[in-house]
A and B are shown apart, each in its own frame.
Chain A
Amino acid sequence: MMTGKESQNPVIVAGGGVAGLTAALDLAAAGRYVELVESAEHLGGRVSELDKIYPGDHCAFCPLWTDIRRVEDHENIRVRLTSRITAVERKPDSIRVTITTEPRYIDESLCVFCGRCREACAADAVRPSWEHASPPSFFIDKTGCTKCGDCVDQCPTGAIDIERPPVEIVLSADDIIWATGFEEVDLTPLPEFGYGTHPDIMTSLEFENWIAEAGVNQGRILRRSNGKEPRNIAFIQCAGARDRRLLPYCSGVCCMHALKQAQWIKRRAPEVGCTIFYTDLRTVGRDYFDYGLRSLRMTTGVDLVRGRPGMIRPLPGGDALALKYENTETQAVEIARFDVVILNGNLAPSQLLPGSEADSPVDLDSQGFVSAGRDGAAPFACGFSREPADIAESVLRASSSAVTLAGRKDGPEP
């Protein structure tokens, strides 16, 4: 029988990505109540936005979906979507947490997905919510909504309330597990990468979205500039990372991410040349190195060049991109021509209160990572909010945080 502080107060898990889902399920299975706070309109976080995951090379969706459903069905877990933790106050015997929820005008528990609201909307502000939502529902984009109310009349179940206000609640919690993940950092300040100067210079996450099987191009490998298949693609590793100007650390997941994208490009469009420009090819986890070797062994191959390009520019005419780099293995400085350049590395921990001047609800270090407690003390953090982490590392740390929290005898720390 599990003992620990006998507490009626819930544990709050901040973030509904793989780390948060794991922490929530572990605590719930152990009999604790969990409030899962997620800022997006669906669970699943970054992994749900990916096309494929490494090293299994299948889509992340299936196993992720299982855990999302288990979270949604679990009687010990309450999910709060479109919500954030906006304040944390540590009192002698509990933690008072303020959670702010942005309203969804369409109540997803009542929406039957008939689509009449979308037909009625003249402002085109109604769209389906996350494509893998189960059950699916519609979502009103507040920036487009004119508040005419035509959709309200059409809804057969009365699910729409366009005056629904934001909700702020304050809960007494036993503690918080931070699992807020990562976001991209703007690369425009680093002029050598040319980000923003040409549509075919993209970040790796933008590219993932662009070539996704479930995305706008249905998996086809096309250039954003002219819609044609590129002749070749360059992956630039450590863009923004291991860089005193921007992110001094290594973002951890980008080497494998580039290898994964290169492998899938080769599968779908074998004639497209792929070159990965790297500094250290960090294939550290389970089966990762073998996965990277596979890149090299595939028929037309993926080229690996050790070197960090010093200049990426659109060529005159804008038809292709010039990339100047030193191949550190041949000691030659070269200029190569690529149709598409993918920048990899600009990942930083998510801002907890974007656009707000308020104090952070938890102590962060200079890079924005949660300053996690040592030796099992709070604050508890897992996944990228704590340090660069891939899926396995994130979920392992989540379970570790959960068991540490569950085993505490003394309750929350002041």
Chain B
Amino acid sequence: MNRKQKRNLIRILVTAALLIALHFLPIVPETGWIRLVCYVVPYIIIGYDILRNAVKGIINRQPFDESLLMAIATVGAFVLAFLRTGDYLEAVAVMLFYQVGEWFQAMAVGKSRRNISELMDIRPDVAYIETEDGVEEVDPDDVEIGTIILVRPGEKVPIDGVVVEGESRLNTAALTGESVPRAVRVGDEIISGSVNESSPLRIETTKEFGESTASKILELVENASSRKSQSEKFISKFARVYTPVVVLLALALAIIPPVVLTLAGRAAGPASELWGDWIYRALTFLVMSCPCALVISIPLSFFAGLGGASREGVLIKGSNYLETLSNVKTVVFDKTGTLTKGVFEVSMVHPAHEDGGDDPEGHSDGHSEEDGHHVCHAHGCADHDEIADEAIIHELLHMAAHAERYSNHPIAASLKKAYGDESDECEVGDIEEVAGHGVRARINGSTVCAGNAKMMTLAGCEARPCEMSGAGTIIHVAIDGRYAGHIVISDIIKEHSAEAIQDLHRSGVKKTVMLTGDARGAAEEVGGKLGVDVIHAELLPADKVTKVEELLEQAQPGEKLAFVGDGINDAPVLSRADIGIAMGAMGSDAAIESADVVLMDDDPIKIGKAIRISRKCMRIVKENITIAIAVKVVCLILGALGIANMWFAIFADVGVMIIAVLNAIRALFVRKL
């Protein structure tokens, strides 16, 4: 509670106590000026700021200021009470409950504001630099690129960098929602906002503080609710119209019925009684003229929804995107990097057997037996007996890796990675790249050729087809003109991809589409495994935009299309789709810039989750809009009929607001969705 809230609470309590005293202690006369003064005291205590703002509102010509309306309603009630019953309690109570409502609203909003900022508590406050005099604490803004900073256990990594000393586990839960800590050691890149768990690390910074992941994410989250959704726009429009309409209705209610009744000669009782009654009804209208419940609960729901989502590692860039996301019926994937890891890995190594007629003159039909000797290298499971095979596999990879020593091609990189440390003492020279074929090199005196089938022909031997390669790329290797075997390199399907597709279908997504540049056969194999509905293969990058446009045209009105990419090279498609989802944003600025929704980790299962979060949030928004408007309309009707009095009106008003605010906060809880 801040000072203002404390002061208001005291005002509320004092007024309530005074009212109880005045009501139950027979110390005030039943009517007259003294009684009026007795009630004006608590009224001033509870309502002085409203009255002051009302006067300012008149001076500034803001006729529909809610302070002014409350002031008119309560002062009006006082006047009526003075003229008629002497029951001032109502007027003071209305002001009291109005203030209770305002106080509750301030508390609830303040609380959720703090809650959500705590959720996103990744802002590092300090960085530690080691100097001659020991460890020095500095502002992370002042740390230059390339500085070595120290991060001790329990501290947040302030700036993105590379580990130069130490080995530890990092908790990235605040960034990705992933609770399993990540092991890091020398040479690993680490991102700011993660928490060091076990032992001290020395990190060489690679970015400035402002460009670091933590700062970027915070900026994104803070700006998120500035992009307003249709619902929010509707509410601000509604609020602009609602208040003036109710005020005009109140005016009409105060004047028209008594005039009509008098003219019709139907007026029962004295004229003052008639007018008093209708003016009272009109004042009841004014009490209900504030659209508070709606205006507060809708942005609060979105804010809570966005906060809850970011806690799960799903960053949504604005309330409008949350709204769109809830209507997604088609999800288009760019295969590489979303459903597959986008990193080529050696998945199989098939050496040719020396005794199996692998010489160039060998008969191809003699190979069938050896083809049974497949070894899944990547999974470490050799089939029977094969220590010898292990050595041969190793040698094959060894030669291939050397041949690709100077190449930066992803395939070369994967070969080198699979072999391990390629820079050993072997003599490697005369490396020659044969465009469209492969490479030729001299290794330890032998000529090694690595490449496609055409390369083998060039090397003077025949490439053996591999029926197990599936979606992969095959690298054949020949040593001194003899076929030595082949290595299969493929893009690995992510662990949760199939589950993610199923999950999307379960969450009501009608169509899943996979776009890829791969050959049709390979694409269909992957797509079939994952259960994707539609596959478009052999696409050039530009074709992807065209395909998405086609799909957009096919979509039913109101049904949205989401495109999921890895944020690399697909910015045009991300922006063309109704909603662009980028995956694996850890460290990729491009993804954060171009997408509407950013999944912090690489797990496609989060897409379904994001859609469910958005649906829950939108449901809450709709509930709040319906409840609030319905209650207001009912109250207005009852008020006009003279059934609801001011008490009823203010209770309904404050009550609905409290319900709506509590309901809005529900949007924050999305863990189990």
Are A and B a genuine interacting pair, yes or no?
A: no
- Chain A positions within 8 Å of B, measured between CB atoms, are none
- Chain B positions within 8 Å of A, measured between CB atoms, are none
